[in-house]
Amino acid sequence: MMRDVSQPLASDHPVAVALKDAAVQLRLANAARALLGKRAAELSSTQRTAEAEVIVQEAAARAWKHKDRFDASRDVVKWLIGYIVNVAREFAKKRGRDASSLPEDGPGLEALAVDPSRPVDDAVTDTLLARHLLDQLPPTDRQIVEMKYWDEMTCAEIGQRLDMQENAVRIRLYRAIQKLKQMCGVTGEGQP
């Protein structure tokens, strides 16, 4: 399914290892399909798969081209999903669709790249835990997080809706996410 990169992939480079991994390829394809947004409803299943595959191939080619920029201390799948987001935005612009319907950044997209080996019960439990943790936030912070990640609104759109400055929304969102991480016992870059 994956790419036509002009150079052969070095087997020991983390980006090459990830691009060769079938499970990672599936996760990237799932993220690309999710990023098709409203357009997905207009396409058949085959067309969705084909368009997602083109996005993944282009993202893989770009990631390989810039493999030297990869920081080995980061999660390679999240790094690759960043390329998926950028390519999907470009495709949206080319097709004249509203590119603002795409998520602004990659952190929340890991959830879109569904891991097929993960039991559904775990995903349901995580959803319930997230709902419980959100209920512990102050109402405005909870609303900002929900609007950002559930309603996929930009910080500017949230600011307009809540009559707040965009920068204030960004700060409150950042602080709310930090508080959620703290409640989960996560400190730093995903390390407990």
Query: Count of alpha carbons within 13 Å of 180, Cβ hemisphere only?
Result: 20
Q: Which of 40, 36, 78, 86 is nearest to 61 (CA)?
A: 86
- Is the separation of the CB atoms in 103 and 85 below 8 Å? yes
Rounded Cα distance, 132 and 170, in Å: 22
Res 138 pLDDT > 70: yes
Q: Which of 172, 101, 187 is nearest to 142 (CA)?
A: 172
What is the residue type of 130? A
At 21 the pLDDT is 82
At 48 the pLDDT is 74
Query: Count of alpha carbons within 13 Å of 95, Cβ hemisphere only?
Result: 15
pLDDT band, very low/low/confident/very high, at 185 (cuts 50, 70, 90): low
Domains defined for the chain, CATH in brackets: 14-107 (no CATH), 120-184 (1.10.10.10)
At 186 the pLDDT is 61
Task: Report which secondary-structure segment, H or E, holds 26.
Answer: helix 22-34
Q: Return mean pLDDT, the chain.
A: 74
Question: Looking up tokens 């999903």, which residue turns up?
Answer: 81
Question: Looking up tokens 């036509």, which residue turns up?
Answer: 4
Mean pLDDT of the region 58-85? 84
pLDDT tens-place string over residues 14-70: 888 888 888 888 888 877 777 776 566 666 777 777 888 888 899 888 888 888 888
At 63 the pLDDT is 87
187 φ, ψ to 5°?
Answer: -125, 140
pLDDT tens-place string over residues 158-183: 999 999 999 999 999 999 988 887 77
